[in-house]
Structure 1
């Protein structure tokens, strides 16, 4: 009798596991901390992981994190490789009106970072001829993108924020353009840093989550759940835990 109970219990758990929905949460491994942090080739403790686990738990779904380069997000959403992705903005997508968007969860900004002790430029035009660090799949405001294209700045593509900041400290780059929150997070973890952030911004960026909504409803349901969690302060608590201020 006892053995039959365990067999039935195992079968029930197996059926439940098979029948449960799986939410495929996309992320770019080159997004900076604290949005994305990699550990051993996998997504580690980060805003992305915390938000994904919170949403999946509320829905009662399994969760799979899927690496997607920033320049392939639209393709991955349309093709069903991922159900949604966060830390993005409608301006970075070819047809944003075809997707389901969350409200802005927090704002960030593109800022110029130089080595401490150097003269901080007052505007972009003051940086002519500089070696500027950039990410190959990152989105930049038009003014900066044009300056890269016409050779006003010497663009050096470097994979991740941490490496670019270290290169600035060691004078291998004259400056780098980064997300302000990412630089602030780096500075809090490295009090002996040799970095200075320009007081002006290249662009203010409201960051949102986006889901494909034409053929599948998993992403749309995740967005709806995320909105409810935001209203209940749960998402705000995640952001606050990583030093970010959520939108009111």
Structure 2
């Protein structure tokens, strides 16, 4: 989840079972974070993390697909209580929410066709078409280049569609998190694609807590921190 959340003043309405802890997820994050089948979360780091943390807190985990444009609405209404793969820098007025400690880190990198020369700076992307995820917020310099149309942003339907376009060289590059790209390349060892060495951005990943959280934010944060410190989150990231 990495979308600019805007302020919505929406009253709370109850959803489902009071003993549920509802975790939002973004299908576009892809594996190893989310494994989605028929719009249901069936596996991945977010699924495992949600199940384990909920169990330790005495709640039943539930998972709700959350479109980027609906995150704030869902959080304010209590349709979801937690959403992870988040960072305060991506959110409008992050002080409106409580946050977990950093749980792991990620990097934004480029995926290139092997026939494409390496890219080492933002200026080398000028005039090129870059595959992106709909609604995602990237490093401020890159967002500015999109706004000025120095770099052409092309939102992709999903990872598979983006990889097919890049294989056909109908895109110059794709920007994504390193782990999902590594996962996709491991499934397509014969694809003429490679990760570019230049790291565009590094950042910590957190979970964001809804004001309608049924457990105290302090308890949930402590539980997540313990899972991190015990090495269990790192194990989830590496076991996929």
TM-score (norm 1): 0.83
Partner of 1:146: 144
For residues 73 and 22 of structure 2, the distance between their equivalents in structure 1, rounded to whole angstroms, comes to 14
Once the two structures are TM-superposed, the CA of residue 159 in structure 1 deviates from its matched residue by 2.0
CA RMSD of aligned residues (A): 2.0
Provide structure 2 residue ranges, at least 5 long, that are not aligned to the other structure: 1-15
For residues 216 and 224 of structure 2, the distance between their equivalents in structure 1, rounded to whole angstroms, comes to 10
For residues 21 and 142 of structure 1, the distance between their equivalents in structure 2, rounded to whole angstroms, comes to 40
The equivalent position to 2:19 in structure 1, one of 18, 21, 46, is 21
Query: Which one has more relative contact order, counting CA pairs under 8 Å at least 6 apart?
Result: 2
Once the two structures are TM-superposed, the CA of residue 219 in structure 1 deviates from its matched residue by 6.4
Once the two structures are TM-superposed, the CA of residue 229 in structure 1 deviates from its matched residue by 2.2
The equivalent position to 1:113 in structure 2, one of 89, 102, 111, is 111
Helix, strand or coil: the match of 1:198?
strand
Partner of 2:170: 172
Once the two structures are TM-superposed, the CA of residue 165 in structure 1 deviates from its matched residue by 2.1
Dislocated runs of 4+, deviation >3 Å: none
For residues 154 and 18 of structure 2, the distance between their equivalents in structure 1, rounded to whole angstroms, comes to 45
Partner of 1:196: 194
For residues 47 and 162 of structure 1, the distance between their equivalents in structure 2, rounded to whole angstroms, comes to 20
Q: Is the 8 A contact 1:23 1:61 kept in 2?
A: yes
Q: Is the 8 A contact 1:98 1:212 kept in 2?
A: no
Partner of 1:226: 224
Once the two structures are TM-superposed, the CA of residue 172 in structure 1 deviates from its matched residue by 1.7
For residues 219 and 161 of structure 1, the distance between their equivalents in structure 2, rounded to whole angstroms, comes to 36
Q: Is the 8 A contact 1:25 1:65 kept in 2?
A: yes
Structure richer in helix, relative to its length:
1
Once the two structures are TM-superposed, the CA of residue 141 in structure 1 deviates from its matched residue by 1.0
Provide structure 1 residue ranges, at least 5 long, that are not aligned to the other structure: 1-17, 243-248
Once the two structures are TM-superposed, the CA of residue 134 in structure 1 deviates from its matched residue by 1.2
- Higher alpha-carbon deviation: 228-237 or 77-86: 228-237
For residues 228 and 175 of structure 1, the distance between their equivalents in structure 2, rounded to whole angstroms, comes to 38
